[in-house]
C-alpha cells in the first residue's frame, strides 16, 4: 500500500508541475484567432498561408512575436511573387491572449512578354573581350513568362529564339498538386540548333568550330521532375531527363573524344536534389545559411553512349558583423565517379554558371572534380526607397527600394583534370582571385554586380554579373 500511495503521489506532483509550466507558457504567449489577407488579387489565399510558418489557432511567444512576423514577411518575399509584404497585429484586446493578424501583400507583375536580345557566349565579359562585342553573336526572339499562372505559384514559360542560336523552350512548373501542398511537378521540353559549338579547350579557353552556312550542333531535351516540400525551408526533387545531341561529322577530325568517336549522343539521366533554406533572403542574404546537395547519374544503361555519376555539395553562410557590415562565405565541392571513357562533352568544372572564380571570367577550367570557395566582405553604402510616381505606369512598381553594397572579394578554387589537361595550365592547381565590387539590389530581388578583379597572372579587369538566387 505504501508503494502504491507513493506512486500516485509522484504522478500527482508531476501533473501539478506540468500544469504550472503550461500556465506559465500560456501567460507568455498569444493565440492567433484570425489571419486576414489583403492585396492578393491573383495569388490564392491557401498558397499564401502555405508559405508562412504559423496558422490560425497557433500560439506564439510574446517575446518572439515581432521577430516571428518579420521572419514571415521575408518568407513571403522569398517566393518572388510580391514586391512588398506587411504583417501587423490588428486586434489585441486588453488582458486577452487572442490576437488578429493582418497580412498585406503588393503583388509583382506576373506576365512578361519579353523580347530576347542576348549573347551566344558564356558571359558578357567573354563576348566583349574575346569576340570584339560582335552583334553577329546575338540571339533574338520572344520569351513569354507567366509567373503565378493560376495563382498557385505555378509558372508557364515559352521561348522562341532565332539568331546565332535557334532555340525553343516550353516549361510548366506546378509547386503543389496535392491537398497538403507538399508535392509538385515540373515538365520541360527544349531544343536548340547552333552554327557554332566548343569542341576543345586550349590555353584555358574554349576552341569553337563554326559553319555560317550549316547547323553544326543539334540538341533535344525532355525533362520531368517530381518535388516534395514538407516544410517551408526543405525541398527534395527527383528528376528524369532524356537528352540527344547530334554534331557535324567533321567533329571526328577535330576531336574524336568529343562524343567518344560518335556524332549522335543519347542518354537518360536520373538525379536527386536536396535544399535547406535558412537564409533571410534567397536573392541577397545578410544572415543565415543555405545547403544544396545533388546526386546525378547520366547514362542508365539504355544507351551505351554515356556513363557518369556526379555528386556535389554547396553551402553558403552569411554573418552580420554590424548593421551595415556583412560577411558572405560560399563553398562548393563536386566529385565525379566515372571511368576513363569520359568524353570531352560535359567536362565542365570552373567557369560555368555560378561556378567561377572572380578574375577568371575569360577562362574555363575543365575537370571531373572541383573545389570552390567564394567570399565577400560587404559594406552597405545605400539603403532607401524611391517614389517613381508618374515615371512608373505600373502601380505595384512605383516604390523602388535600392540597396548598394561595396564588396571586398577573395575566391579560391581548384579543378582536377586527368583526361584532357594538355595545354591547359589552370587545371590541377590552386587559383586565387581577388578584387572590389559594387552589388546593386533593386526591388529586393534583382541583383547586379560590377566587379574589378585580379587573377594569379596579375591580369585585371572590370566584370559584370547578373546574380542568380543561390
Could you tell me what percent of the chain has a pLDDT over 90? 58
Question: Quick count: other Cβ atoms within 10 Å of Cβ 79?
Answer: 20
More confident site: 140 or 174 = 174
C-alpha cell recorded at residue 20: 504550472
Rounded Cα distance, 291 and 99, in Å: 35
CA dist 38 and 401 (Å) reads 21
> What is the band of 167 on the pLDDT scale with cuts at 50, 70, 90?
confident
Residue 362 and residue 129: Cα distance in Å, rounded? 8
CA distances (Å), origin 464, targets 239, 357, 360, 456: 32, 13, 12, 20
∠ Cα 283 288 291 (to 5°): 80
Grid coordinates given for 204: 584555358
Query: Does 9 have pLDDT greater than 70?
Result: no
Residue-range domains of the chain with CATH? 2-106 (3.10.20.310), 175-466 (2.40.160.50)
288: left (phi over 0), alpha (psi -120 to 50) or beta: left
Q: What confidence tens digit (pLDDT) does each residue in 190-223 have?
A: 999 888 889 999 999 999 898 878 899 999 999 9
Give 416's strand partners. 369
Per-residue model confidence as pLDDT tens digits over 263-273: 999 999 999 99
Q: Which of 168, 176, 180, 179 is nearest to 149 (CA)?
A: 176
Averaged over 395-419, what is the pLDDT? 92
By the 8 A CB rule, do 107 and 79 touch?
no
If phi > 0 it is left, if psi is from -120 to 50 it is alpha, else beta; for residue 351 that is left
Task: Assess contact for 421 and 427: CB atoms under 8 A.
Answer: yes
Looking at residue 422, its pLDDT comes to: 72
Q: What is the mean pLDDT of residues 7-16?
A: 42
Looking at residue 179, its pLDDT comes to 86
pLDDT of residue 468: 64
Contact 121, 164 (CB under 8 A): no
- Cβ atoms within 10 A of the Cβ of 230, count? 11
Rounded mean pLDDT of 139-155?
Answer: 85
Measured CA to CA, the distance from residue 151 to residue 199 in angstroms comes to 44
Q: Which three cell numbers stand for residue 220?
A: 533535344
Residue 370: how many other CB atoms lie within 10 Å? 23
| 45 Cα distance to chain centroid | 25
Q: Cα separations (Å) of 32 from 29, 56, 58, 65, 100?
A: 10, 5, 6, 11, 6
Cβ contact 336:369 at 8 Å:
yes
Q: Tell me what the mean pLDDT of segment 233-245 comes to.
A: 96
What confidence tens digit (pLDDT) does each residue in 72-114 have?
A: 999 999 888 998 999 999 888 877 888 999 999 999 888 877 6
The pTM (predicted TM-score) of the whole model is 0.79
Amino acid at each position: 500500500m505504501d508503494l502504491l500511495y507513493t506512486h500516485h503521489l509522484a504522478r500527482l506532483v508531476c501533473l501539478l508541475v506540468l500544469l504550472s509550466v503550461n500556465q506559465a507558457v500560456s501567460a507568455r504567449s498569444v493565440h492567433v484567432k484570425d489571419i486576414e489577407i489583403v492585396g492578393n488579387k491573383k495569388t490564392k489565399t491557401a498558397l499564401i498561408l502555405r508559405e508562412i510558418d504559423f496558422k490560425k489557432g497557433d500560439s506564439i511567444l510574446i517575446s518572439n512575436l515581432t521577430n516571428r512576423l518579420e521572419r514571415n514577411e521575408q518568407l513571403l518575399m522569398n517566393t518572388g511573387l510580391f514586391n512588398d509584404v506587411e504583417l501587423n497585429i490588428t486586434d489585441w484586446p486588453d488582458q486577452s491572449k487572442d490576437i488578429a493578424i493582418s497580412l498585406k501583400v503588393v503583388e509583382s507583375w506576373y506576365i512578361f512578354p519579353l523580347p530576347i536580345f542576348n549573347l551566344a557566349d558564356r558571359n558578357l565579359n567573354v563576348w566583349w573581350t574575346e569576340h570584339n562585342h560582335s552583334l553577329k553573336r546575338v540571339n533574338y526572339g520572344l520569351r513569354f513568362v507567366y509567373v503565378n499562372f493560376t495563382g498557385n505559384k505555378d509558372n508557364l514559360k515559352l521561348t522562341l529564339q532565332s539568331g546565332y542560336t535557334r532555340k525553343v523552350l516550353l516549361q510548366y512548373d506546378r509547386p503543389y498538386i496535392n491537398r497538403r501542398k507538399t508535392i509538385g511537378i515540373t515538365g520541360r521540353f527544349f531544343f536548340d540548333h547552333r552554327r557554332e559549338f566548343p569542341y576543345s579547350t586550349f590555353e584555358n579557353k574554349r576552341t569553337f568550330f563554326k559553319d555560317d552556312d550549316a547547323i553544326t550542333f543539334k540538341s533535344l531535351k525532355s525533362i520531368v521532375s517530381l518535388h516534395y516540400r514538407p516544410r517551408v525551408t526543405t525541398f527534395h526533387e527527383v528528376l528524369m531527363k532524356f537528352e540527344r545531341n547530334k554534331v557535324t561529322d567533321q567533329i571526328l577530325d577535330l576531336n574524336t573524344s568529343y562524343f567518344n568517336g560518335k556524332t549522335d549522343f543519347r542518354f537518360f539521366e536520373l538525379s536527386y536534389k536536396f535544399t535547406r533554406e535558412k537564409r533571410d533572403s534567397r536573392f541577397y542574404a545578410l544572415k543565415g545559411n543555405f545547403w544544396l546537395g545533388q546526386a546525378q547519374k547520366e547514362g542508365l544503361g539504355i544507351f551505351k553512349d554515356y556513363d557518369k555519376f556526379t555528386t556535389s555539395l554547396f553551402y553558403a553562410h552569411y554573418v552580420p558583423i554590424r548593421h551595415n557590415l556583412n560577411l558572405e562565405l560560399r563553398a562548393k565541392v563536386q566529385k565525379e565517379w566515372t571511368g576513363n571513357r569520359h568524353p570531352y562533352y560535359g567536362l565542365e568544372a570552373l567557369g560555368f554558371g555560378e561556378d567561377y572564380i572572380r578574375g577568371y571570367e575569360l577562362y574555363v577550367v575543365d575537370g571531373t572534380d572541383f573545389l570552390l570557395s567564394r567570399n565577400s566582405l560587404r559594406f552597405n553604402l545605400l539603403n532607401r526607397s524611391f517614389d517613381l510616381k508618374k515615371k512608373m505606369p505600373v502601380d505595384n512598381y512605383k516604390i523602388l527600394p535600392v540597396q548598394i553594397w561595396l564588396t571586398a572579394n577573395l575566391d579560391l578554387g581548384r579543378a582536377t583534370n586527368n583526361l584532357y589537361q594538355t595545354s591547359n595550365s589552370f587545371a590541377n592547381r590552386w587559383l586565387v582571385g581577388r578584387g572590389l565590387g559594387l552589388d546593386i539590389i533593386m526591388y529586393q530581388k534583382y541583383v547586379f554586380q560590377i566587379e574589378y578583379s585580379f587573377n594569379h597572372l596579375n591580369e585585371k579587369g572590370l566584370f559584370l554579373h547578373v546574380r542568380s538566387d543561390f
